[in-house]
Amino acid sequence: MIISRRKLIVSGLAATAGASGLAVAARLANRYGLVPPDHGGIYGLGETLTYASQRLLTRHAMAREFPRDQISPRPFPNEVAPLTEDFRRLQAGGFADYRLSIDGMVHQPASFSMADLKSYPSRSHITEIACEEGWSYIAEWIGVPLSEILNVVGIHPQARYVVYVSMEPDTWDSIDMADALHPQTFLCYAMNGNDLPVVHGGPLRIRLPRQIGYKNLKFITRLTVTDSLKKFGKGCGSAACELGYAWYTGI
């Protein structure tokens, strides 16, 4: 096959334009927070497309809320890892000594007891929690919006993520500021009118109704506000991600 010079020049120009177009798109996507921390590897393309398109389309969208009569009569408690010695001690004391600490890019690092958290106006929503396996249930989730607590400690303007750590061993995750400041994102301490049962993550669980169940970690004990996830674990944003599970789970 003979390729004419014109064809060669045209395809060369097209390839250059395409490559620079992609480079510009990547820069813009990064600048506007459309690239997830686990964008590397063979599944990075899918993860990035999902995260970017959902951030563009659904940044401020509210998770569906349900009428009270649709609350599941028997919420299914998924398996939790065996409780640690430390946790049992706190549980024996009625969680009076349970603390949530906040550090990182905040003006005033702080530590909250359960009573402190409950002193802020409580909010609730009746939303569905859905597991990546396929099952789901609806409950009324009661707590304090994470944005309220972030306001109390004051976050730096360059903050981009909130890392949250569970009392379950090697269990931590993170969310971007769109989710951290979303009005339905709760530090949840009660469910269906009662204290949050330990099997459901009591005394304190993070509740993200726009993300899959495994992102809604139980036994939250520490928050770190940061501008980069590179320093945390392997840098892909969560312990789940290190086990091959996606960081962003709006899908």
Partner 1 sequence: MATSGSAQLPAEVSVPSPASIGRITKPAPRHSALVRVTHWITTVCFLALLVSGMEIVISHPRFYWGETGNVLRTPLFQLPIPSSRKLVPTGYGYVLPDQNGWSRALHFEAAWIAVLTGLLYLVSGLLTRHFRKDLLPSKADLSWRALMTSLAKPLCLQRPSAAEAFSYNGLQRLTYLFVIFVLFPLVIWSGLAMSLGFVSAFPWSVTVLGGRQSARTIHFFVSVALVLFLLVHVLMVCLAGFWRRTGAMITGRITARKEQT
For residue 11, state whether it binds partner 1 (rule: CB under 8 A). Answer: no
What is the closest distance, in whole angstroms, from the C-beta atom of residue 245 to partner 1 in the complex?
A: 4
Rounded to a whole number of angstroms, the minimum distance from the CB of residue 125 to partner 1 is 12
Q: Which residues contact 51 (CB under 8 A, 6 or more apart)?
A: 34, 35, 36, 248, 250
What tokens appear for 11 in the block?
């395809």
3 is a site residue for partner 1 (CB under 8 A)? no
Task: Pick the stretch among 27-35, 150-158, 193-201, 238-246 that binds partner 1 (CB under 8 A).
Answer: 238-246
Residue 210 CB, shortest distance to partner 1, in Å, is 5
Whether residue 163 contacts residue 226, with contact meaning beta carbons closer than 8 Å, is answered with: yes
**Any contact of residue 82 with partner 1 (CB under 8 A)?**
no
Q: Pick left, alpha or beta for residue 228 (phi over 0 → left; psi -120 to 50 → alpha; otherwise beta).
A: beta
Closest to partner 1 by CB, 23 vs 251, is 251
Residue 135 makes contact with partner 1 by CB under 8 A = yes
Q: Letter for the amino acid at 84? A: T
Residues 6+ apart with CB under 8 A from 72: 137, 138, 139
Shortest distance, position 72 Cβ to partner 1, whole Å: 5
Residue 48 CB contacts under 8 Å (≥ 6 apart), including other chains: 29, 34, 35, 36, 39
Task: Determine, following the binding rule CB under 8 A, whether residue 211 of this chain makes contact with partner 1.
Answer: yes
Binding site for partner 1 (CB under 8 A): 42-43, 45-47, 49-50, 54, 57-58, 61-64, 66, 70, 72, 74, 76, 78-79, 128, 130-138, 209-212, 240, 243-246, 249-251
